[in-house]
Chain A
Amino acid sequence: MSETLLHIERLALSLPEGGERLYAVENIDYHLDSGEILCVVGESGSGKSMTANAIMRLLPRGVNVAQGRALFAGRDLLRMSEEEHRALRGRHIGMIFQEPMTALNPLLRIGDQLAEVFEAHGLLSTGERRQRSLALLEEVRLPDPAAALRAYPFELSGGQRQRVMIAMALALEPQLLVADEPTTALDVTTQAQILGLIRDLQKRRGMAVMLITHDFGVVAEVADRVCVMREGRIVEMGTAAEVLDNPRDAYTRALIEAIPGDAVAPPREVADSVPLLSVTGLDKVYRTGGGWFKEKREVVALEGIAFSLGRGETIGVVGESGSGKSTLGRCLVGLNRPDSGEIRLDDVDLRALAGRELREHRRRIQMIFQDPYASLNPRTRVGMAIAQGPIANGVPRAQALARARELLATVGLEGSAAERFPHEFSGGQRQRIGIARALALDPELIIADEAVSALDVSIQAQILALLDRLKKELSLSLLFITHDLRVAAQICDRLIVMQKGQIVEQGSAEQVFNSPQHAYTRELLAAIPGRRRPAATPVVEEDQP
């Protein structure tokens, strides 16, 4: 059964001149047998997608094959004519992509886009194409396939669109499926379903799958074999069991260890039982349109939210996209205005304040944002970005700038960073700058909105450790908003689980993980990729960047 389907030999892809390195990938050697799932794992910039793009001829402009071969059933994919290659694409090799929201043509019906696969290879009559399309949509378990056939992409959810993409990639029963981060853009429960679907279909059809991912959880879930990449080179390769349980390479080990396991840290002593923040009956409805000629639409974002947060405590707010968790954070800092309810900070109702008083109290709650690239003004020097808050609050300029340098040291950067512009820093460093900015106003509560979601796992761990240290040193309270239960488990004392604008469960992190009460919480926990694997004990040190 294991006959080699794809053989990549000494592949090197050159980058355009003047870049950081000469090759996107080099010395790539691996093979893929029919009937197996190979996971190519790596962090951003590791070149993990490049090989797949090369064999699909989807390389970005400027990236070229420098040397090597990619033999598919004995023929070199890199050197055959475009016509020969096109005959293979879709028919013998299928591909699905990361972002299902944009991967389908918005102006064509789903049925037409499916039928196009058959049309492109001159197969079947129009009627037969339609029937096969219907059967395919049933196979990928889309609810109401007949309606989906007539639908336009915008009428389907992200998960449904990814199912359509899979149906399309599998339409002609290819021997090889290339899946580039197929679940990264999806919610955790949808992610589990899509992974399950890919594995089922692979087993049933006996095809080979090359799955590219950054997530060792996904690897643990589906991989037969694993190939770990770093900076364009393969650092380790082996069966899933070998690599996951006995990583030989130090980098692989670090990556695996950096995934927060699902073992919950022991409950910490909460120093102060007096609540710092207490929220009751918070409601928020988003209204769009309602102009003079527009229709009104209403989306309930928050409904009857109530909880309290003690001094020095860390609460994790967990939920999928659309659960209202970000809206909650934005209401607390004042970026959004709730419709009703109370937000009390030490017995002061923030919603009843205005003007100078409000500003004085707002200062006490600060935020760390998700996207390290969008959260700093590209035209403002880092020191100024940190000092702006104190200056706006009346601190003399020189004093504020001096303090900014101290804060940079606090978050583990050099003071000289203050003179530089944001684009000179990496994602993790920028996130440190964002933290320094939040600290500049001496807040008591910090709200971290998906603050590590955009970072690679190894960097994620460093930032989490930094937050943990700062919290203790400065006796801060932390509200940690995340979609990733694994991250929440690592840092939070208590957890709040949100679904459709409501809190469905709250309790100590230990309780929520070990004896979840609500069905939705159980579903979320079950969906964590790699959960069945015994967790590695997280040993994370806060490295200097």
Chain B
Amino acid sequence: MSFWHRFARNRGALLGVFILTFFILLALLAPFLYPDSPWRMVQRPFLAPGEVEGFPLGTDAMGRDVAAGLAHGAWVSLLVGLISTLAAMLIGVPLGALAGYFGGRVDDVLMRFTEFFQTIPNFALAIVLVAILQPSITTIILAIAIVSWPPVARLVRGEFLSLKQREYVEAARLVGQGHVAIIVRQILPNALSPVIVLASLMIATAILLESALSFMGLGDPDLMSWGYMIGAARTVMRQAWWLSVIPGVAILLTVLALNLVGDGLDDALNPQLARQR
């Protein structure tokens, strides 16, 4: 059975792709749909959704268009999720590969280093990093990457530990292939499927982390984000509940979709496990 066939058999995964496509389109079209800055005051504050035409989601406490914020926020969420996950992969995959492949002292040192980062409370570390390095989209991405690479390293290490003992890897050593060729050509391609599944789940976690940082007031001050919108709505929750509900639902749907897609990838890439679901 082909990859797409197995993926499509998981109906949740298809739903996830559907939701995700919607938010990706929203993010890409934001500059055309709402060419103005989402920070601009455009109407009376506290308009309820649908109260005034042209503002389907209403306005916030400063009279900013909630729909515009939502569209521009989608861009920030997805961008931060994607790039920080890529960065975490760039740290975690090589570290895990080296630790698993060479073992011994190299493994000892690299794994102590990984454990150190895994011991520090993730969110607290991210807060400290962003707060002290000053909030900006770069520091946010950096902080999220720094707190999220350890699971990647551990996963890749585990795969390498078991794959390097496969007989085909030993055969490659016997015929004289070098370390680099063995790591890149023999082991890495066979270790990739669980890493891809993990990556899709990590994008979801990164989006949650970014929104939490923005909620705490540590977002990039120039960029509108969903977490910021919820944080700003907190003090006016009693008057205008929709201001916190709408961006919250957006985050929930995006993260949910990414998880569904991740499960679908898992089914498609590891067919022998798929039956358990």
Residues of A that sit less than 8 Å from B by CB: 61, 291-292, 333-335, 359, 362-363, 366-367, 369-371, 374-380, 385, 388-390, 392-393, 434, 437, 440-441
Contacts and interface: CB of A to CB of B under 8 A. Distances in A.
A333 B175 contact: no
A286 to B, nearest CB: 13
A101 B168 CA distance: 26
B176 A379 contact: no
Contact of B167 (A363, A366, A374, A378): A374
B190 A379 contact: yes
Contacts of A376: 168
A366 B275 CA distance: 40
A97 to B, nearest CB: 21
Interface string B162-203: 000011111111111110010001100110000000000000
Nearest to B169: A377
Given A61-B275, A378-B190, A379-B190, A334 B167 contact: no
B108 interface: yes
A393 B175 contact: yes
Contacts of B186: 377, 380
B170 A369 contact: yes
Nearest to B172: A388
Contact of B174 (A292, A333, A377): A333
Contact of A389 (B175, B185, B275): B175
A369 B169 CA distance: 11
Contacts of B173: 334-335
Contacts of B275: 61
Interface string B124-144: 000000000000000000000
A509 B132 CA distance: 77
A292 B170 CA distance: 28
A392 B167 contact: no
A390 to B, nearest CB: 8
A440 B171 contact: no
B176 A335 contact: no
- Grouping DSSP codes into helix (H, G, I), strand (E, B) and loop, the B interface class, with mixed when no group exceeds half, is helix
A335 B175 CA distance: 11
Contact of B178 (A379, A392, A440, A441): A392
Size class of the contact patch on chain B: 20 to 34
B175 A392 contact: yes
A333 B170 CA distance: 10
A437 B175 contact: yes
Contacts of A441: 175-176
Nearest to A367: B174
Contact of B175 (A291, A366, A380): A366
Given A375-B167, A378-B190, A366 B177 contact: no
Contact of A379 (B171, B175, B189): B189
A378 B190 CA distance: 8
A374 B166 contact: yes
29 contacts: A61-B275, A335-B174, A359-B176, A362-B176, A366-B174, A367-B171, A367-B174, A369-B167, A369-B170, A369-B171, A375-B166, A375-B168, A375-B171, A377-B168, A377-B186, A378-B190, A379-B189, A380-B168, A380-B185, A385-B168, A388-B175, A388-B177, A389-B175, A390-B175, A392-B175, A392-B178, A437-B175, A440-B175, A441-B175
A335 B170 contact: yes
A304 B80 CA distance: 61
A437 B171 contact: yes
A374 B168 contact: yes
A366 B176 CA distance: 11
Contacts of A369: 167, 170-171
Contacts of A377: 168-169, 172, 186, 190
Given A335-B173, A369-B171, 10 more contacts: A363-B175, A367-B171, A367-B174, A374-B166, A377-B172, A380-B185, A385-B168, A389-B176, A392-B175, A441-B176
Nearest to B177: A392
A378 B166 CA distance: 11
Contacts of A388: 172, 175, 177
A366 B171 CA distance: 9
A359 B181 CA distance: 16
A388 B170 CA distance: 13
Nearest to B275: A61
Nearest to A291: B108
A392 B181 contact: yes
B166 to A, nearest CB: 5
Contacts of A334: 173-174
A393 B171 contact: no
Contacts of A392: 175-178, 181
Interface string B235-277: 0000000000000000000000000000000000000000100
Contacts of B169: 377
B175 to A, nearest CB: 3
Contacts of A333: 174
A388 B181 CA distance: 10
A520 to B, nearest CB: 29
Nearest to A434: B171
Contacts of A359: 176
Q: Which of B171, B172, B186 has the most chain A CB atoms inside 10 A of its CB?
A: B171
